[in-house]
Structure 1
């Protein structure tokens, strides 16, 4: 006869199997949970799902690593091979650990929660992120510069202070917020809304909140279509982010067997980048909403198949490591670590005890920490942890307030400057027209010289509008030379004048982008 404890273990194992097995479209069910409804879950199942989410990020990120931003404005054709074997993860860990920026960025926030509690103030997260040793780009780097200059969140992510506010940055590093909030989408959204404003605003924050929401729902639902649609309720319908993802859902219904047709529809309507100075009028696009569309295309057309989900999200192109990382993490949370196919877990055992670069955390460590944070969040939100059973109080999504970045602004021109400002050439002038202006460029120095902070004044129509500090160090650099979205809608004379620059240093002024308050007419042919 089986002992009571042994019988309980067997029942728990069967429960894990049936709860975590990847559902087909026919097997998926639409739940009817109500706000505050109790959902009971064995701790083993909860841990399995948390592990599936964290491991999934690494798997998806590794698979898409070789193609990241190599296919911009085009999908990755079926004929293009993407390698996968038991050595891939170890190779990237050892040779190009910066690939996992979306994971070690997550871990910065996880570490602050671990050291200072889950009520740790945003300022601690912001300072840890700004002073970390890893390299950053786009909204993250613009926010880092702001914070190091004394501008704290939410101002550090506000679009008038951060021209990358709509970029993907928080979207790729928001997984932790969902993984610590099983079945509690509003708890995930609250964490995401707070931390997302360190580096983003508007659609950039919504991208992270949406990803975190899908993670939170994936703990308790096995219907991916439901998860994709339900999580979107946290995002205001008036936002372009919501409209873009709603379009993907609609096109999936219209073309249920053709992800490439949906990709083309996304490309036709949502491929223009408005804010990011690196993407305006270029094929490069790191905007949150179009890359989120590629996550969702993978999740919907993958039909619960792990490899298919990852491959489709990757082959959509653009940020083709971060997008499948999110998709693989969300599906991994739904089915659990134990049900991720062995083919996709091959090589995982070689890296699970290795700390991510710039951190003191490995996957095995974050599995445990993530479990602890999830249990704390369950109790914090009215649930219970009793023995081996966790009782979650289910949350129905509440919609965040509307935020719109770059509202009423339309890019009109990308012009060349390409001048080096130094001791011999301390000034550059050019004409620009519009109510918004961004100037791209960076500070540089001759080999062997120490880093320094260079200074210039920006004049618009013979008036100094900003004194700009340009560090030469990559870690604390200013991502763009200058931006201003509050000019008058007219022609302007712009002048950059060096104030402080030692010999051997220079500021490389590259391009300018102008914005109008009047939307240009659309071409009709």
Structure 2
């Protein structure tokens, strides 16, 4: 692939994102069949703003400022500071981040929307930075997704799409791309089940209306306060599980790609036919075609009404003034420049002779999902993982267990003793005691990973938040480094009150909770 071809595909990705997002935005989260062939609203040469693209621009800024050795905690800082949209999983994650919690706990704790669509819609940045390297794209997508989706299906969705899009720089066989994406997620997760069911029903000969009924009957989430057609309401499709949105919408993308049979417009418009999160489904499909075909592929009828401008709505416009790219061309140039830095950093080996088998996940990739339950801190010679053993919640008079998983990452010193001290807070008791010592061999020798458990007991009236610090010191000095890791516990009262749904409004208004 030449530099000009690569740049064309990057620009095609972002143009496709704007085309699909703008086309689908007016019918976003309407549960109905859509008979749409073109933009449905007046446009003045600009695309509609969309968080799908905004957050990817935020990741662009983070990478430009901090480089590629970046993780979920780094991305979480940008997310909390500069992303001003606070709906659903975004708002839950920002609340958890402000409390002092860290990913992936920020995406799991109190989050009914961890199985929703907010992560896969921002996957393209990783594919564009790591074209033909789906494992790299998937690893960064994982770090991204856990911020606000924790251990939910939303994480699998972003990994799946990022891997598929990365491979699409060198492969345009839709069925093969789907299988490549599936190789990066657990075969027993609900998302994988939904994708395979979508492929099965398509290959069984079910048409668009039949497959839509299959989704509505088996995979729908709750609509919140959006529109529902009278036909769908009469069929009982007004209520599903709250936040259970990503399986159905990824299935819609799969149906769009399969029914489209390689035709861009047919693929995108098929996805719109199903309804639901239409800007996300059509935007992902259009971006994928842009990656496969390049900017020249798109007919002028799709580009002229929206132009090349980037319009944002969820990035802080004051603190990010002058940093947000204003056009598709500027965004493309900055992504290409970052890709060149990534290539210099990681020394990719990619060529046009690679085949589909080169893009499938390695046998060990799925181990990454072991990180969905623990907060990881990396130091020279030591990795620390905090396992909250459930929610990070402390209750008066009940022991709260936390677990420290410790790895000696030294490559040159066979073994060492690690001294641990958990600094207490007033009114708390640490059991069995604050201080401990652990013998660690090098982790790569097979027995160098140890677990240490503490229990925290509070018998006094609870405070809202407790900030603890765990200190680690190797007895054999290791440059005299003292390492500290934060542990955050919160207190919570109340229980979930059963919602009573009411029909308020004319036909087309979905049920709302009595509040």
Shift of 1:346: 2.0
Could you list the per-position Cα deviations for residues 171-212 of structure 1 after superposition, in whole angstroms to 9, with x for gaps in the alignment?
112221122111111001100111111111231100111111
Instruction: Provide the rounded CA distance (Å) in 2 between the counterparts of 1:302 and 1:268.
Output: 23
RMSD across aligned positions (CA): 3.8
Aligned partner (choices 255, 259, 268) of residue 310 of structure 1: 268
Residue matched to 1:42: 2
Aligned partner (choices 182, 187, 206) of residue 131 of structure 2: 182
Residue matched to 1:203: 153
Residue matched to 1:445: none
Shift of 1:374: 2.6
1:83 aligns with 2:39: yes
1:326 aligns with 2:290: no
Could you list the per-position Cα deviations for residues 154-182 of structure 1 after superposition, in whole angstroms to 9, with x for gaps in the alignment?
21012x44222111111112221122111
Shift in alpha-carbon separation, 1:122–1:255, aligned structure 2, 3 A: same
- The TM-score with structure 2 as length reference comes to 0.63
Give the conservation status (yes or no) of the 8 Å contact 1:229–1:249. no
Residue matched to 1:269: 218
Instruction: Provide the rounded CA distance (Å) in 2 between the counterparts of 1:277 and 1:403.
Output: 36
1:342 aligns with 2:292: no
3-state SS in 2 of match to 1:400: helix
Shift in alpha-carbon separation, 1:89–1:46, aligned structure 2, 3 A: farther
Residue matched to 2:104: 154
- The TM-score with structure 1 as length reference comes to 0.62
Instruction: Provide the rounded CA distance (Å) in 2 between the counterparts of 1:264 and 1:210.
Output: 24
3-state SS in 2 of match to 1:349: coil
Shift in alpha-carbon separation, 1:106–1:369, aligned structure 2, 3 A: same
Shift of 1:316: 1.3
1:213 aligns with 2:177: no
Question: How many pairs are equivalent?
Answer: 367
Instruction: Provide the rounded CA distance (Å) in 1 between the counterparts of 2:178 and 2:190.
Output: 16
Shift of 1:332: 1.2
Instruction: Provide the rounded CA distance (Å) in 2 between the counterparts of 1:285 and 1:89.
Output: 34
Instruction: Provide the rounded CA distance (Å) in 2 between the counterparts of 1:282 and 1:356.
Output: 29
Residue matched to 2:360: 396
1:376 aligns with 2:336: no
Could you list the per-position Cα deviations for residues 88-111 of structure 1 after superposition, in whole angstroms to 9, with x for gaps in the alignment?
373554xxx3xx111001111111
Give the conservation status (yes or no) of the 8 Å contact 1:123–1:152. yes
Runs of 5+ unmatched residues, structure 2: 227-236, 374-459, 466-491, 499-512
1:228 aligns with 2:188: no
Give the conservation status (yes or no) of the 8 Å contact 1:181–1:216. yes
Give the conservation status (yes or no) of the 8 Å contact 1:139–1:157. yes
Could you list the per-position Cα deviations for residues 296-321 of structure 1 after superposition, in whole angstroms to 9, with x for gaps in the alignment?
11111112222112111122111111
1:290 aligns with 2:290: no
Shift of 1:342: 2.2
Shift in alpha-carbon separation, 1:68–1:356, aligned structure 2, 3 A: closer
Shift of 1:218: 0.8
Instruction: Provide the rounded CA distance (Å) in 1 between the counterparts of 2:270 and 2:461.
Output: 50
Shift of 1:294: 1.1
Shift in alpha-carbon separation, 1:120–1:346, aligned structure 2, 3 A: same
Shift of 1:379: 4.4
Give the conservation status (yes or no) of the 8 Å contact 2:20–2:285. yes
Instruction: Provide the rounded CA distance (Å) in 1 between the counterparts of 2:183 and 2:275.
Output: 26
Instruction: Provide the rounded CA distance (Å) in 1 between the counterparts of 2:131 and 2:5.
Output: 11
Shift of 1:373: 2.6
3-state SS in 1 of match to 2:183: helix
1:365 aligns with 2:330: yes
Give the conservation status (yes or no) of the 8 Å contact 2:83–2:314. no
Instruction: Provide the rounded CA distance (Å) in 2 between the counterparts of 1:44 and 1:338.
Output: 12
Give the conservation status (yes or no) of the 8 Å contact 2:112–2:242. no
3-state SS in 1 of match to 2:20: helix
Residue matched to 1:163: 112
Runs of 5+ unmatched residues, structure 1: 1-40, 407-462, 469-480, 486-491, 494-509, 513-525
Shift of 1:391: 9.6
